[in-house]
Structure 1
Amino acid sequence: MSSALESLWSKLEAAAPQANSLTYLPFSSAGSAKLLAGLRRPANDPPERLLLLHLPRQIARQLRPTDRHQGLRLEPVADQLDRNAAFVSLVLTDLALRDIFSALCTDIIAAVAPVAEPATQLRAMLTRLERWQEMFSLFNPEGLSLMARQGLFGELWTMRWLITEGSTAPTTVLAAWAGPDHHPQDFRFAKAALEVKTTTGNARSLHIASLQQLDAVLTGPLFLLHLPMLLATTDAETLPALVADLMTRFASDGTASAENFSLRLQTAGYFASQATLYQQEAWQVREARLLAVSGDDFPYLRASTLHPAITAATYELEAVALEPWRCPLPTLFTLIS
């Protein structure tokens, strides 16, 4: 659906409307609600993309103009062709957020389109907008930090590894990806959980971020995947290239999967508009070391054995010392496929 919106906005931009004019095209499958893609070209500024909801004038005019939403402005706009109607206009004011705006508008359309009653349509639109505020707050003009990029690369590499080496369905892998939601483990399947740890250079320790991260009592079968990586090697891959590869795989699995993957990336702090920031940096995974976090002898801190006064902790595990718990890859694959 977001691709359909992009197509409408592109048509409006190509038409080069007069300064300060509002042009729009209806979204053909908008259901009961009248939703439109709009474009306004201020006199001395870049064109503004809008999502318009057409409502009776008395309902639309209840809305007061506001720009308290990051990168957005919400305002009523008169319908010059119908004095009894008006638009509620959601305007993108920060061009760096174009990819998020497209996803936001797609989500709003899905929520509002089936609603028949105009006042309820407006409430549904505002409710969806509130839910998206956290997503917009994740946008950092400087992009992801080095550690965040390394961690995300490891999770995305693991997704492809599970699809190609583990013959796991792309939709299953995508549904299990919990890293963007800050769950203790990066992947949570129906019958197993998987935590991914990356190291680069001479680093020999794996950072365990919480008492829950390696607690198999909470997850059932739990695995730790260690990915030793090299930065900027001849056979390396950039983060945008890895994203593009996975996007192709999800697109072949269905449009909804590709759009869902794009949303999950944004939740992780990766935005397509910032891909050029990451083009000069590449990694190569040297090997995948799968460890079974099982039995009473695996070296991790157990919350159940600690003093009740200890409510949180982080710690380091020596990677080489975990070799006794290394397990064959099919041990994991058979549980998740």
Structure 2
Amino acid sequence: MPESSPWDDIAVPGADFNVRQVAVGTAVPCFWGRDAGGACLFIVELQGDHAAQYRKSAVTVNGIDVDLRAGDQGQQHLVLALERQVDRDLFEGLCRTLASSLEHATDSASSLAVSLAHIRRWKTFLSGRSQHLSIEEVRGLFAEIVFLTELIDRQMSSGAAVGAWLGPERSHQDFMFGNTAVEVKSLSGAERSSIRISSEDQLESLNDALFLRVYRLSSLADAAGARSLNEIVAAVQARLGEADAVEAFDRKLVAHGYAPLPDYDEPRFVVSDVCSYRVGDGFPRLMRSQLPTGIANVAYDIRLETIAPCECDEAAIFGED
């Protein structure tokens, strides 16, 4: 969890709430708050009566109480209250991204609709109890999402592209489509040129074609096109369009251990190099079908210079050659 949070400097009141306004340009005022029980709150102030709209679209989320409460002078408050302090980092992520989403709303009714839709989306992340990813896991997930965007760029439908992403489901390879399997790896800009193969199954496939795609990611925050993990996730969600594809994408992110936490606003990466390799005869690899009896749980490194003869054009992966 971050060292400080927006609730740290809000005193617990004797009754009702203490609040501090969120510093974003939204159509309706938003507030960080604490109630008399010490719970962390996020409050959206609405003008008018929105009870019917709320009842029609209300969403329940484990660990967060969502309520529409009467306010003063014809106002209503959408109140999000955190029930478990252990979830504070996830709750902060939800609230910050909600505040950003509300910048695009135009009035109280649209603000309530945006809020409830946002909470519904976050329900997937909150139910997944996502853990903090290591920097290596962040890079690995970033690289897999880059490849996913490349599938979409080549006119694969949103649903098919997300369906092809099998890495979060513990498949032997990260992507499978048609008779092609692709294992995606990432390297940091400063890393030596070798990749880690984590099992004896990773470079063995029943598909007709198996490829290794390696992305070198450089952490260059100010470079043109640099994106954080949160930014590339949000960009893909916006591109997918289809509700079913977005929902499937979010479920796979949760399976990967991801939630849109502020922690993943940094580092910001650029893809500084990409190499593709055809995995077949002559490619150095250990395979389950060829291991001596009794050997299991194999992990090993491959030096990229040794597989240079297997390098291929990316068109081969996407069936364009």
Q: Which of the five TM-score ranges fits, normalised by the shorter chain?
A: 0.5 to 0.7
Provide the C-alpha distance between the structure 1 equivalents of 2:57 and 2:198, rounded to a whole number of angstroms.
48
Provide the C-alpha distance between the structure 1 equivalents of 2:119 and 2:237, rounded to a whole number of angstroms.
19
Q: Who is 1:302 aligned against?
A: 287
Provide the C-alpha distance between the structure 1 equivalents of 2:173 and 2:156, rounded to a whole number of angstroms.
18
1:191 aligned onto 2:183: no
Question: Percent sequence identity over matched residues?
Answer: 24
Which runs of 5 or more residues in structure 2 are unaligned?
1-29, 31-42, 60-64, 70-77, 96-117
Q: Who is 2:227 aligned against?
A: 237
Q: Who is 2:258 aligned against?
A: 270
Q: Give per-residue Cα distances to partners, 1:58-103, cap 9 Å, x unaligned.
A: xxxxxxxxx99x96xxxxxxxxxxxxxxxxxxxx9x7358599734
Q: Contact conserved, 1:24 with 1:38, CA < 8 A, in 2?
A: no
My pick for the range that moved more, 286-295 or 229-238, is: 229-238
Q: Contact conserved, 1:25 with 1:38, CA < 8 A, in 2?
A: no
Provide the C-alpha distance between the structure 1 equivalents of 2:146 and 2:123, rounded to a whole number of angstroms.
30
1:249 aligned onto 2:267: no
For residue 279 of structure 1, what is the amino acid of its counterpart?
Answer: D
> Within 5 A, what are the aligned runs for 1:68-217?
95-96=91-92, 102-103=120-121, 135-136=128-129, 138=130, 140=131, 143-164=132-153, 166-200=154-188, 201-216=190-205
Q: Who is 1:227 aligned against?
A: 215
For residue 195 of structure 1, what is the amino acid of its counterpart?
Answer: E
For residue 177 of structure 2, what is the amino acid of its counterpart?
Answer: F
1:332 aligned onto 2:320: no
SS in 2 for 1:288: strand
Q: Contact conserved, 2:213 with 2:276, CA < 8 A, in 1?
A: yes
SS in 2 for 1:226: strand
Change in CA separation of 1:29 and 1:215 when aligned onto 2, cut-off 3 Å: same
SS in 2 for 1:144: coil
Using the TM superposition, give the Cα deviation of residue 47 of structure 1 relative to its aligned residue in structure 2, in angstroms.
Answer: 4.1
- TM-score, scaled to structure 2: 0.62
Using the TM superposition, give the Cα deviation of residue 105 of structure 1 relative to its aligned residue in structure 2, in angstroms.
Answer: 6.0
Aligned residues: 238
Q: Give per-residue Cα distances to partners, 1:184-239, cap 9 Å, x unaligned.
A: 211122321111011111321110000000013x3432110011221225232222
Q: Who is 1:282 aligned against?
A: 268
Change in CA separation of 1:96 and 1:190 when aligned onto 2, cut-off 3 Å: farther
Change in CA separation of 1:226 and 1:106 when aligned onto 2, cut-off 3 Å: closer
Change in CA separation of 1:27 and 1:191 when aligned onto 2, cut-off 3 Å: farther
> Over aligned residues, Cα RMSD in angstroms?
3.8
SS in 1 for 2:148: helix
Q: Contact conserved, 1:24 with 1:39, CA < 8 A, in 2?
A: no
Which runs of 5 or more residues in structure 1 are unaligned?
1-9, 17-21, 31-36, 51-66, 72-91, 108-131
Q: Give per-residue Cα distances to partners, 1:149-193, cap 9 Å, x unaligned.
A: 1101111111112222x3322321111111222222111223211
Q: Contact conserved, 1:205 with 1:319, CA < 8 A, in 2?
A: yes
Provide the C-alpha distance between the structure 1 equivalents of 2:318 and 2:209, rounded to a whole number of angstroms.
12
Q: Contact conserved, 2:167 with 2:174, CA < 8 A, in 1?
A: yes
SS in 2 for 1:26: helix
Change in CA separation of 1:40 and 1:170 when aligned onto 2, cut-off 3 Å: closer
Q: Give per-residue Cα distances to partners, 1:256-281, cap 9 Å, x unaligned.
A: 22232223222222212x1x222231
- TM-score, scaled to structure 1: 0.60
Q: Who is 1:64 aligned against?
A: none
Provide the C-alpha distance between the structure 1 equivalents of 2:58 and 2:219, rounded to a whole number of angstroms.
46
Q: 2:278 is matched with which residue: 274, 280, 292?
A: 292
My pick for the range that moved more, 218-227 or 254-263, is: 254-263
Provide the C-alpha distance between the structure 1 equivalents of 2:191 and 2:202, rounded to a whole number of angstroms.
24
Provide the C-alpha distance between the structure 2 equivalents of 1:48 and 1:283, rounded to a whole number of angstroms.
33
SS in 1 for 2:318: helix
Q: Give per-residue Cα distances to partners, 1:259-316, cap 9 Å, x unaligned.
A: 32223222222212x1x22223111112221111122x21101222221110220000
Change in CA separation of 1:250 and 1:304 when aligned onto 2, cut-off 3 Å: same
